[in-house]
């Protein structure tokens, strides 16, 4: 990565630490971000969608999206880039969560949240649900910055990749269902 990206990443992270830190958010964000651990929340949502005939295709879409994120984002890109987490580059930074053992780029929490967001945006559901999931996804992304476990460029990449994987998951599910109907 070029120096200007790293410089901008640290400016944003340190700005958040300087202006947004407070006791309530120090309590809230570790709990909120835990909802995205290992993708369990999204897996449960996919299972719930799959269990309801009306939303089964969307459960399949979310499952495909999560698989794309796992394979291409978390297993391939993270290991190819091998970016160190920001708290490992700053001496004496007091983390609000346990240190993580994997790499920083891209943010897996953000990626999964945006996979979920894009799938919901493509579903035939009320706009208020799309807005709620959008707010949830942006909060998940911000939590990763607030907790100093990702750089802003990690989170941006996670949002972009998650959106792409969400879209591809929906399109693959539509293809599978169309092929199944034609058979």
User: Looking at 78, 83, 85, 109, which residue is catalytic?
Assistant: 109
User: Looking at 78, 83, 85, 150, which residue is catalytic?
Assistant: 150
Q: Which residue do the tokens 């830190």 mark?
A: 21
Of the candidates 137, 138, 114, 155, which has an alpha carbon nearest to the alpha carbon of residue 5? 155
Q: Which residue do the tokens 């879409």 mark?
A: 61
Dihedral in degrees, nearest 10, Cα atoms 40, 86, 156, 158: -30
| 92 included as an active-site residue | no
DSSP class per residue in the chain:
--HHHHHHHHHHHHHHHHHT--HHHHHHHHHHHGGGGGGHHHHHHHHHHHHSGGGHHHHHHHHHHHHHIIIIIIIIIHHHH-PPPGGGSSTT---SSPPPSS--SS-HHHHHHHHHHHHHHHSSS-HHHHHHHHHHHHHHHHHHHHTTSS-HHHHHHHHHHHHHHHHHHHHHHHHHHHHHHH-
| 150 included as an active-site residue | yes
Query: Which of the residues are catalytic?
Result: 109, 150
């Amino acid at each position: 990565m070029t120096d200007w990206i790293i410089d901008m990443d640290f400016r944003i992270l340190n700005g958040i630490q300087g202006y947004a830190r407070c006791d309530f958010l120090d309590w809230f964000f570790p709990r909120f971000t835990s909802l995205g651990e290992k993708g369990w929340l999204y897996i449960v949502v996919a299972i719930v969608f799959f269990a309801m005939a009306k939303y089964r295709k969307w459960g399949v879409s979310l499952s495909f999206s999560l698989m794309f994120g796992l394979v291409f984002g978390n297993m391939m890109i993270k290991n190819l880039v091998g970016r160190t987490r920001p708290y490992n580059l700053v001496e004496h930074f007091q983390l609000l969560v346990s240190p993580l053992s994997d790499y920083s780029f891209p943010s897996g929490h953000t990626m999964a949240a945006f996979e979920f967001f894009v799938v919901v945006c493509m579903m035939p559901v009320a706009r208020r649900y799309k807005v709620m999931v959008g707010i949830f996804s942006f909060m998940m992304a911000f939590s990763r910055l607030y907790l100093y476990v990702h750089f802003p460029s990690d989170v941006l990449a996670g949002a972009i990749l998650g959106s792409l994987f969400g879209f591809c998951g929906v399109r693959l599910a539509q293809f599978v269902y169309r092929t199944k109907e034609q058979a």
